[in-house]
Chain A
Amino acid sequence: MSGDPVAVQETASADGATLSGGLAKGAGSLAEQRIAVATQWQLMWWRFRKHKLAAAGTIVLALFYLVAAFADFFAYADPQDSDAQRSLIAPQTIHWFDEGRFAPYVYALKGTRDPMTFKRVYKPDPSTKIPITFFARGEPYKLFGIIPADRHVLGVEGADTGKSLFLMGTDTQGRDLWSRLMFATRTSMTIGLVSVALSLVLGVVLGGISGYFGGTIDSVIQRIIEILRSIPTIPLWMGLAAAVPSDWSVVQVYFAITIIISLIGWTELARVVRGRFISLKHEDFVMAAELVGCSKSRIIFRHMVPSFISHIIAATTLAIPAIIISETSLSFLGLGLRPPAISWGVLLQDAQNIQALVISPWLLIPSFAVIVAVLAFNFMGDGIRDAADPYL
């Protein structure tokens, strides 16, 4: 006698009108029938699709994760390859048509430093046309770390791509910004996932125990949460970051940072979970399950959890943007990922000065990536939450 399909069906019929209205106009009773037998997840999906911003957000995020997975492919230059002669090149103009045909190309650049203004000045050399090719062969890499490959999304013919193509310009060390952005996306998008996964586990377990068992356990856990929330985050970050042994490798530090971020973020999820458990504890279907003789774990996992799992998913999705911003803030404070690691936070540090704003504003482009990612997560999370809430 698990309560869920029944409960959902009750609400489904109440909402049937709105849903079917959006589903298939004119299908009439057929649509209503489909709704009546649809599972909770199908209902959520149908409602989610209607929310335009959420849908857009999801597509954008899918693109971001595509980039994250295939960063080596989307980058066309070595993100660490530096050359002072390429320092601070502005994004190149791409000439799309060569004598009427669609054949994009760029000119080679000659750079010098102006002795009066001290800026790097680049003149395109009209005599050298460097054609751009798609899916070109370039630096070899290992897809997912195992499959050897050497195709990149872009390349140039007759020259070294890293020395000729600068879609988003270069930084002070002459490193291609586009390629660095690809790898930064990988790092920053995955930190968010790992961190939130840890927060989720901690939050659900501790919040659940706290909410379900109540009493002293609840009190103790609540106190711990209160203490953690009372300490301002920056000192906590500084202390924890300083505790990371200095002889750890960049990858180990990366994981330490994700753990640090999640250790502070789990309290919010725990609160939500606890709230849900407390309100559900007194529901009829839980009492019914207890009376029938279900074990505690079965009650928790089979009956209670599924009824609020959608809220958890929504809360989790909405927690990720905060983690992304935290990562950039940690970099600002010098505590997070530092060069030579590449993340959005690291890239933004190059832009966090006056000369970037005035002389080389293209260094600010990674901030768009952050903004778009955070917006996308928020819209998607909103959409999930709206879709999951049966009372909306």
Chain B
Amino acid sequence: MVAYIVRRMLLAVLTVWAISILSFIIIHLPPGDYVTSYIASMSASGSAVSEGEAAALREQLGLDQPITVQYFKWMGLTLRGNFGMAMEWGRPVVDVIGDRLSLTIVISLAAIIFTWAVALPIGIYSAVYRYSFLDYVFTFVGFIGLAIPGFLLALIVMYVGFAWFGANVGGLFSPEFAEAPWSLAKAWDLTKHLPIPAIVLGVAGTAQLIRIMRSNLLDELRKPYVMTARARGLPEHRVILRYPVRVALNPFVSTIGYLLPYVVSGSIIVSLVLSLPTVGPLLLKALIAQDMFLAGTIVLLLGVLTVIGTFISDLLLMWIDPRIRLGRQ
């Protein structure tokens, strides 16, 4: 058991290192670099950058060195906990990401809670009352969420919210709270703004969850112990909720691991459309600007979280399901 954990951890380190190299390469694939991106964006806003300045900036940021040198420099910094300076932001990368991290986590958790709270009951109902009218309705509604492209749904929901309900357009806070220090009122303001992002983000995941829950529960419901429980006179709701549902939830444990990177990154596209101050749009803008340190750090962070998440999932699964544990011996 311990040997297994140790081996997995070593493999994890190897994986993370491979991810770091890959992330670096991916960010450098587009031709040009941060300085060309900077010049281009300045030109697009009607301003000028001279050639001399461009050369100086390039030298300053070390962009004129070969890519391997840049990589090792970045790795060296990272291992020492210094993730570099975000070029566009003029602040350390940890600060830029850190600012947005807590809000990202809040939104992602809200979306996850929404998804699970909606999908699990529907999944259970669908399995128990299979092929009923409501089963079809729920399945259908659940799937609609999967089918609508997220960016379009976000725009429509945002506009409808504004036009029909006078809601604030996008963002997470009302203008008067945006700059204010944290307080109970501000927290309440945040909660009031969470439904739209949570729904738009969560809607796509519900269909998948419903489908999985439904089929897992169906598998369980056919098992003999369910029939036994019924024959023994247990009320129906206990028959279902107490045993099969809990067993049906087991596979979800393995998906918890994959939630980890999602919680931290949020959804990039939907966050962009809704103008949520999360890590997602930050990553996208960093990639476009070819801000090597910022983009590289975020990608590396997400990669590490995925590896950790998978690891946690595997451990949890082993712990819950004795068959896997015993099978290893």
Contacts and interface: CB of A to CB of B under 8 A. Distances in A.
In the complex, is A directly touching B at CB under 8 Å? yes
A116 interface: no
Interface stretch (B23-31, B80-88, B96-104, B235-243): B23-31
Interface string A202-239: 00000000000000000100010011011110111011
A234 B281 CA distance: 11
A348 B155 CA distance: 12
Contacts of B30: 238-239, 242-243
Nearest to A223: B15
A310 to B, nearest CB: 15
Interface stretch (A85-93, A136-144, A176-184, A370-378): A370-378
| Main DSSP-derived SS at the B contact region | helix
B68 to A, nearest CB: 17
A219 B136 CA distance: 42
A68 B269 CA distance: 28
A300 interface: no
B302 A236 contact: no
B11 A223 contact: yes
B269 A378 contact: no
B117 interface: no
Contacts of A321: 146-147
B22 A232 contact: no
A348 B149 contact: yes
A236 B148 contact: no
A62 interface: no
Chain A contact patch, size range: 35 or more
A232 B29 contact: no
Query: Considering residues A235, A332, A353, which has the most beta carbons from chain B within 10 angstroms of its beta carbon?
Result: A235
B287 interface: yes
B27 A371 contact: no
A348 B148 CA distance: 11
Interface stretch (B46-54, B176-184, B303-311): B303-311
A358 B149 CA distance: 19
B269 A239 contact: no
Interface of A: 53, 219, 223, 226-227, 229-232, 234-236, 238-240, 242-243, 321, 325, 328-329, 332-333, 348, 351-354, 357-358, 364, 367, 370-372, 374-375, 378-379, 382, 391-392
B147 A370 contact: yes
Contacts of B278: none
Nearest to B280: A234
B14 to A, nearest CB: 7
Given A238-B287, A357-B156, 18 more contacts: A53-B136, A53-B139, A223-B14, A230-B304, A232-B303, A235-B287, A238-B26, A238-B30, A239-B25, A239-B27, A239-B29, A325-B147, A332-B269, A357-B155, A364-B152, A372-B147, A374-B143, A378-B207
A357 B26 contact: no
B116 interface: no
A371 B148 contact: yes
